[in-house]
């Protein structure tokens, strides 16, 4: 395996904090099959070891985990209150991922009104039922299919995988992308607000899914996805958000104004910390 030296990075916290469904636990490390090949990574102290079924260079690995982000500066900038400082201290090596666009979009459509284990299962069924196959260390793996494949999938067949009503969302969204109505290239040229609006033209993509894709794939670090866990943090600790208005758009705007250009990092620290330390009800 090849290796790179890493600083201020926890592979475990980064990949198990709930921001990605493109990576899965595998032995001592993690696998991704959604990048046109199989990529395996594991961490040993300050060494990040990696190998692939074809070829991957160090620069690509660094981009996948945003290893060149100035993490300590980011943490200093967003540490505006005690809750945020506690959240950062809980997982100081957590970084925002840079997942492939279409697999990120599909898996977050799968996440609508769903829990993490179910999302992981149904995403894997999509890969195995429709995706390309790769050989790696004598084993066969499947990656997420492209929009051209899912655009032609039978909705009822997708429903049977456990997608239920989300199946139509995925097929119609895949068709729009396959026809070039929304493209990753265009989205990356837009501002955050413009990209967020453009994503919401896709069938079934609402505010939260659009924000997740903006943050975890397109690199808009100001994006601030709001789900039930973030909502609880807002209600308990951040009156400024509630006072700004009850709509998703107003709370998101208030969060971005409060935390600034790295609001997405703030969101993920709060999300991971809140979920990990929540007491069973």
List the one residue out of 196, 200, 240, 253 whose CA is nearest residue 84. 240
Task: Clarify whether residues 48 and 133 are in a common domain.
Answer: no
The total domain count for the chain is 3
Q: Tell me what pLDDT residue 281 has.
A: 47
Q: Which of the listed residues 167, 197, 216 is the one where a domain comes to its end?
A: 216
Q: Tell me what pLDDT residue 241 has.
A: 67
The number of CA neighbours under 13 Å toward the Cβ of 232 is 10
Task: Clarify whether residues 226 and 175 are in a common domain.
Answer: no
The answer on pLDDT for 123 being more than 70 is yes
Torsion of CA 123, 129, 132, 138, to 10 degrees: 90
> Confidence band (pLDDT; 50, 70, 90) for 178?
very high
Average pLDDT over residues 190-215: 97
Average pLDDT over residues 82-105: 97
CATH number at residue 267: 1.10.1670.10
The answer on pLDDT for 28 being more than 70 is yes
Average pLDDT over residues 125-139: 96
Phi, psi at 183, each rounded to 5°: -130, 145
Average pLDDT over residues 72-83: 96
Task: Clarify whether residues 118 and 211 are in a common domain.
Answer: yes
| Cα 159 to Cα 117: distance, rounded to the nearest angstrom | 17
The number of CA neighbours under 13 Å toward the Cβ of 228 is 7
Q: Tell me what pLDDT residue 69 has.
A: 98
Cβ atoms of 112 and 209 within 8 Å: the answer is: yes
Query: According to DSSP H, which parts of the chain are helical?
Result: 11-16, 58-64, 71-78, 82-90, 101-110, 116-130, 147-150, 155-158, 166-178, 184-189, 192-199, 207-216, 228-237, 239-243, 248-259, 263-277
The answer on pLDDT for 264 being more than 60 is yes
Highest mean pLDDT among 111-120, 178-187, 232-241: 178-187
pLDDT tens digit sequence for 139-148: 999 999 999 9
| Partners of 50 in the β-ladder | 2, 41
Task: Clarify whether residues 65 and 75 are in a common domain.
Answer: no
CATH number at residue 163: 1.10.340.30
Q: Tell me what pLDDT residue 242 has.
A: 63
| Cα 233 to Cα 248: distance, rounded to the nearest angstrom | 14
| Average pLDDT value for the chain | 94
Q: Tell me what pLDDT residue 279 has.
A: 62
> Confidence band (pLDDT; 50, 70, 90) for 243?
low
Average pLDDT over residues 211-215: 98
| pLDDT > 70: percent of the chain | 97
Q: Ramachandran region of residue 3, left (φ > 0), alpha (ψ -120 to 50) or beta?
A: beta
Residue 94 lies in a domain: no
Residue 96 lies in a domain: no
> Confidence band (pLDDT; 50, 70, 90) for 239?
confident
The answer on pLDDT for 268 being more than 50 is yes
Cβ atoms of 43 and 93 within 8 Å: the answer is: no
Cβ neighbours of residue 191 under 8 Å, at least 6 residues apart? none
Task: Clarify whether residues 75 and 65 are in a common domain.
Answer: no
Burial of 99 (0-12, 13-18, 19+ CB in 10 A): buried
Average pLDDT over residues 88-107: 98
Average pLDDT over residues 72-84: 96
CATH number at residue 37: 3.30.310.40
Its domain, for residue 231, covers: 70-88+222-281
Q: Tell me what pLDDT residue 280 has.
A: 54
Residue 244 lies in a domain: yes
Task: Clarify whether residues 200 and 267 are in a common domain.
Answer: no
Highest mean pLDDT among 86-100, 102-116, 230-244, 267-281: 86-100
Phi, psi at 88, each rounded to 5°: -65, -45
């Amino acid at each position: 395996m090849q290796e790179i030296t890493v600083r201020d990075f926890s592979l475990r916290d980064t990949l198990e904090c709930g921001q990605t469904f493109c990576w899965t636990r595998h032995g001592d490390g993690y696998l991704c099959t959604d990048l046109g090949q199989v990529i395996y990574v594991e961490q040993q102290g300050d060494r990040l070891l990696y190998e692939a079924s074809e070829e991957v260079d160090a620069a690509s690995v660094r981009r996948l985990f945003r290893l060149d982000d100035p993490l300590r500066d980011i943490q200093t900038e967003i540490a505006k209150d005690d809750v945020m400082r506690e959240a950062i201290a809980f997982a100081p090596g957590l970084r925002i991922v840079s997942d492939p666009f279409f697999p990120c979009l599909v898996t977050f459509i799968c996440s609508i009104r769903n829990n993490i284990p179910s999302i992981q299962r149904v995403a894997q069924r999509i890969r195995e039922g429709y995706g390309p196959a790769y050989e790696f260390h004598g084993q066969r793996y499947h990656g997420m299919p492209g929009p051209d494949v899912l655009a032609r999938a039978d909705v009822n067949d997708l429903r049977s995988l456990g997608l239920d009503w989300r199946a139509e969302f995925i097929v119609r969204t895949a068709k729009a992308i396959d026809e070039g109505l929304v493209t990753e290239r265009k989205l990356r040229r837009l501002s955050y607000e413009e990209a967020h609006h453009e994503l919401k033209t896709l069938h079934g993509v609402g505010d939260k899914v659009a924000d997740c894709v903006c943050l975890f794939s397109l690199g808009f670090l100001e994006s601030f996805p709001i789900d039930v866990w973030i909502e609880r943090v807002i209600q308990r600790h951040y009156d400024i958000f509630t006072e700004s208005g009850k709509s998703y758009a107003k709370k998101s705007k208030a969060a971005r104004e409060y935390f600034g250009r790295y609001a997405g990092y703030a969101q993920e620290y709060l999300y991971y910390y809140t979920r990990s330390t929540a007491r069973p009800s």
